[in-house]
């Protein structure tokens, strides 16, 4: 069964603690998007939010940095209580160093690829990755449509993991619901991030369970 990490980008910002409590017993992690208004057009969250969220849940905090030069925020995020820090291949010329910095800061390291970025381009750093996040929409906004062509990349990552004994989890993010998750899971996805499908519903916990149910 797939693991689910609800994205709080679609949660009720004013009642964030209540939103998190609703999914706490059905979810496997919380996905927190950090956006700088440059790498992506929107602005969202930051280390201060991570620090505020840390004491209110025991769930792992999976931090997706959509920021230019993400190296700047590795230490502040680790100090704030991040468990996994994900950096975009496209956001730094030094992705290898960025992953090393995350490990040095005591966190698990994730590498992220946009829909227009190939698996081939991150081949040299796969041995360092604890997680590979395949964007199934172009990053920056919730509520977009899943791009089915990205399933080929998941398959490719899954094949490489088998062939070379890599240890990374494969995560998907964008347009995930209880239908789109099926082909992605079959191709080898371990963790599904879902925002609007979970939180734009009066019963977010049931939505999380329905994604899991779809991959049983
Ligand atoms: O990283 C992002 C958006 O760039 C996400 O984590 C969104 O929060 C996913 O939202 P949905 O597509 O599930 O509504």
DSSP state of 157: H
Q: What is the pLDDT of residues 168-188, one digit of tens each?
A: 999 999 999 999 999 999 999
Q: Which residue, by CA, sits nearest to atom 7 of ligand 1?
A: 142
Q: How many domains in the chain?
A: 1
Three-class SS state of 98: helix
CB under 6 Å to ligand 1: residues?
Answer: 7, 9-10, 31, 33, 64, 137, 139-144, 173-176, 193-197
Which domain covers residue 149, as residue numbers? 3-213
Strands (E), the chain: 3-6, 29-36, 43-44, 60-66, 84-88, 108-113, 131-135, 169-173, 191-194
- Centre of ligand 1 to C-alpha 142, Å, is 4
Q: What is the pTM of this model?
A: 0.97
Instruction: Calculate the average pLDDT of the chain.
Output: 98
Q: What is the pLDDT of residues 17-36, one digit of tens each?
A: 999 999 999 999 999 999 99
pLDDT band at 127 (very low <50, low <70, confident <90, very high): very high
- Centre of ligand 1 to C-alpha 139, Å, is 7
> How much is the pLDDT for 179?
98
> How much is the pLDDT for 100?
98
CATH of the domain at 111: 3.20.20.70
CB atoms within 10 A of CB 157: 24
């Amino acid at each position: 069964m797939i693991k689910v990490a609800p994205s709080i980008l679609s949660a009720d910002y004013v009642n964030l603690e209540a939103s998190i409590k609703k999914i706490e017993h059905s979810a496997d992690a919380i996905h927190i998007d950090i956006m700088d208004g440059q790498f992506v057009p929107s602005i969202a969250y930051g280390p201060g939010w991570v620090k505020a969220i840390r004491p209110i849940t025991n769930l792992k905090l999976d931090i997706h940095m959509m920021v230019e030069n993400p190296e700047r925020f590795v230490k502040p995020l680790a100090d704030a209580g991040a468990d996994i820090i994900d950096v975009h291949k496209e956001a730094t010329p030094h992705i290898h160093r960025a992953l090393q910095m995350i490990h040095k800061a005591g966190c698990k390291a994730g590498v992220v690829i946009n829909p227009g970025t190939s698996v081939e381009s991150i081949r040299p750093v796969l041995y360092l990755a604890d997680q590979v996040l395949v964007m199934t929409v172009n990053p920056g906004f919730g509520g977009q449509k899943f791009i089915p062509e990205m399933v080929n990349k998941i398959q490719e990552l899954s094949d490489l993991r088998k062939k070379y004994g890599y240890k990374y989890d494969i995560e998907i993010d964008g347009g995930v619901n209880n239908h789109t998750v099926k082909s992605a899971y079959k191709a080898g996805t371990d963790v599904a991030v879902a925002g609007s499908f979970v939180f734009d519903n009066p019963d977010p916990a049931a939505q999380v369970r329905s994604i899991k149910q779809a991959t049983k």
